[in-house]
């Protein structure tokens, strides 16, 4: 019986970047970086890939992940939420003799997530005995400075009572979801069907490890960063 399962979610129908999850980044398919980080962690008992795409499943298996099922078509559309995908995986595991306490959703679009991030998020959940932990990063721009633009081109504060002109150092720290780690206690997720329930704890990751790939530009930047890191390792 597994205590913690890592679930790599990788559907095949990306429109923004066709074939995104298996595009080359730093000399490997994008999904390989997430699989390798998951397998290198000390927390995950299994690393399972959920995909509707045979080529993604083939490549995932080559890099050591389990590919025991094909994701149902109804859970692989543009508007298919992650909650149904994760619950499907939990139910499949139970039907096949495994019932994990926690499931950690790992999206391939976060290739700079490290094994230590996976382990630290899990340790946080166990220490605090919570339903869920979600990874975040420091916000690049503070929402107090955000603007709306009227039809006539005039700016106004996005937050009506925002603190315009206040130095950043005087504002409270704020964070945004980075999409790298969603950790859920299985029984709570199945009962409540919410991946980010009230009381979810934040696991803070650095900006550098929070790169998220959603566009061709993101893919190019990630490839350059990965190759740069490899050059640094070779030179060390």
The residues, any chain, with a CB within 8 Å of residue 210's CB and separated by 6 or more, are: 110, 112, 135, 137, 178, 180
Q: Which two tokens stand for residue 154?
A: 């005039």
CA distances from 185 to 11, 122, 150, 161, 179 (A): 23, 11, 44, 38, 18
Topology of the domain covering 4-138+174-235: Spore Coat Polysaccharide Biosynthesis Protein SpsA; Chain A (3.90.550)
Q: Report which DSSP code applies to 43.
A: S
Contact 23, 17 (CB under 8 A): yes
Tens of pLDDT along the chain (236 residues)?
569 999 999 998 777 788 999 999 999 999 999 999 999 999 999 999 999 999 999 999 999 999 999 999 888 876 778 899 999 999 999 999 999 999 999 999 999 999 999 999 999 999 999 999 999 999 877 777 678 888 888 888 877 765 555 666 667 788 999 999 999 999 999 999 999 999 999 999 999 999 999 999 999 999 999 988 766 566 65
Q: What residue segments make up the domains of the chain, in order of their start?
A: 4-138+174-235, 140-173
């Amino acid at each position: 019986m597994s205590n913690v399962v890592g679930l790599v979610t990788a559907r095949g129908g990306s429109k923004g970047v066709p074939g995104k999850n298996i595009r080359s980044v730093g000399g490997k398919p994008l999904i390989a970086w997430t699989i390798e980080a998951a397998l290198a962690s000390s927390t995950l008992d299994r690393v399972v890939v959920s995909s509707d795409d045979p080529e993604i499943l083939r490549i995932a298996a080559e890099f050591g992940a389990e590919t025991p099922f094909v994701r149902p078509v109804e859970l692989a559309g543009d508007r298919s939420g992650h909650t149904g995908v994760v619950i499907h995986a939990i139910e499949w595991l139970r039907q096949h003799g495994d019932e994990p306490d926690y499931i950690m959703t790992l999206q391939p679009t976060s290739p700079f997530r490290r094994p230590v991030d996976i382990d630290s998020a899990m340790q946080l959940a166990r220490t605090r005995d919570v339903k869920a932990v979600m990874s975040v990063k420091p916000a690049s721009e503070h929402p107090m400075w955000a603007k709306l633009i009227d039809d006539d081109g005039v700016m106004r504060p996005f937050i009506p009572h925002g603190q315009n002109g206040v130095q950043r150092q005087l504002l409270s720290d704020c964070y945004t979801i980075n999409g790298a780690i969603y950790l859920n206690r299985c029984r709570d997720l199945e009962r409540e069907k919410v991946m980010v329930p009230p009381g979810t704890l934040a696991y803070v990751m650095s900006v550098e490890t929070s790169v998220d790939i959603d566009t061709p530009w993101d893919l190019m930047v990630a490839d350059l960063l990965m190759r740069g890191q490899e050059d640094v390792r070779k030179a060390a």
